[in-house]
């Protein structure tokens, strides 16, 4: 799902989902504890530089982590700062992006670098959404991972985890369900931005490693006891 624009719902809005506050707290506590033990050592998790985080988030759209790592390092060697990127020609940026595909990502990154150099990096999710090519997921990711803001984010992995655990009747790819999924994501957030950094990383990690689209590794899942769809071994959602 990520930043893809949802179509307008053809049917009425679903009733609000009731979430048990105790279950939400337990979910967050178990999830973050699991992440601290099992998180992958990824380069963009070692920085709070908004430029570097934004580069990683744009590269990770539609591209697997394993492929992104080498591109990420090479791109930052060529353009180590947002100022260096802004001074480059668009053709140079696109050339450095070659092999990742979806070149609109590179062009948008170049456009926004020039705006950021003029105006500074926005720190809040709603402000970040005004930058070229930045949708709700990427805005939430940069706000949380660079500035430690308490901001929800929903990508494909996060949506899968949240619907399986809290609302199996919702479908991440159904437009009329997306507002409810974002509401669940916000409800699960801890109170502080610093804890939200870990929480949002953990949500994505759980969806990438255990609660995957094709296989559900329920036996190893830290939130299995809370999951409303546990022990369903297959499924594309």
The catalytic residues are 57
CA distance 164 to 115: 39
Q: Which residues fall within 8 angstroms of residue 38, CB to CB, at 6 or more apart?
A: 205, 209
Do the beta carbons of residue 48 and residue 146 sit within 8 Å? yes
DSSP 215: -
Which residues lie across from 211 on neighbouring strands? 216
Token reading at 221: 């899942």
CB-based contacts of 117, cutoff 8 Å, min separation 6? 82, 83, 86
d(CA 79, CA 94) in angstroms, rounded, equals 12
Q: What is the CA radius of gyration of the chain?
A: 18
Cα angle 125, 130, 134 (rounded to 5 degrees) comes to 75
For 153, which DSSP code?
A: -
**Residues recorded for the chain:** 237
* Alpha helices in the chain, H assignment, sequence order: 21-38, 50-60, 65-78, 82-87, 90-97, 104-119, 125-128, 136-147, 156-166, 175-188, 193-209
Tokens 């099992």 -> residue = 38
């Amino acid at each position: 799902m990520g930043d893809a624009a949802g179509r307008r719902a053809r049917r009425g809005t679903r009733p609000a989902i009731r979430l048990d506050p105790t279950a939400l707290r337990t979910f967050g506590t178990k999830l973050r504890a699991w992440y601290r033990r099992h998180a992958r050592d990824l380069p963009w998790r070692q920085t709070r530089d908004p430029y570097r985080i934004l580069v990683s988030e744009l590269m990770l759209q539609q591209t697997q982590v394993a492929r992104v790592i080498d591109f990420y390092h090479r791109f930052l060697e060529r353009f180590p700062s947002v100022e260096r990127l802004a001074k480059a020609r668009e053709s140079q940026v696109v050339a450095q992006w070659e092999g990742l595909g979806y070149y609109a990502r590179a062009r948008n990154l170049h456009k926004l670098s020039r705006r950021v150099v003029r105006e500074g990096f926005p720190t809040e999710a709603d402000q970040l959404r005004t930058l070229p090519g930045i949708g709700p997921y990427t805005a939430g990711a940069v706000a949380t991972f660079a500035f430690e803001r308490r901001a929800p984010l929903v990508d494909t992995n996060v949506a899968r985890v949240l619907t399986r655990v809290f609302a199996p009747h919702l479908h991440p790819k159904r437009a009329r369900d997306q507002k409810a999924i974002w509401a669940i994501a916000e409800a699960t957030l801890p109170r502080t931005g610093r804890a939200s950094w870990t929480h949002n990383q953990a949500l994505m990690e759980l969806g990438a490693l255990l609660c995957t689209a094709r296989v559900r590794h329920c036996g190893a899942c830290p939130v299995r006891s809370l999951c409303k769809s546990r022990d369903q071994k297959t499924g594309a959602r």
